């Protein structure tokens, strides 16, 4: 009935929020790994800049 429908909608919204938060956390983790990988002194300025670009692209995700 109406109460059951409202409860189901609230649960669905809650699940969607948690999934989105998990995706964002994983995206942040991957971006952090990418930026850290290219920070060593063995990389050129161009390679470090590429790492920063990769970092930004990962965080932008679907918005890019």
Least confident range from 9-13, 17-21, 38-42: namely: 9-13
The DSSP code sequence of 25-62 is HHHHHHHHHHHHHTTSTTS-HHHHHHHHHHHHHHHHGG
Q: In this model, does residue 6 exceed pLDDT 60?
A: no
This prediction has a pTM of 0.64
What pLDDT is stored for residue 53 in this prediction?
92
How confident is residue 37, by pLDDT bands cut at 50, 70 and 90? confident
The average pLDDT across 43-57 equals: 91
Average pLDDT estimate for 38-54: 89
């Amino acid at each position: 009935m109406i109460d059951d429908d409202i409860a189901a909608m609230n649960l669905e919204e809650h699940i969607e929020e948690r999934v989105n938060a998990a995706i964002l956390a994983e995206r942040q983790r991957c971006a952090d790994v990418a930026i850290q990988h290219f920070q060593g002194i063995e990389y050129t300025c161009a390679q470090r800049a590429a790492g920063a670009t990769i970092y930004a692209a990962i965080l932008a995700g679907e918005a890019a």
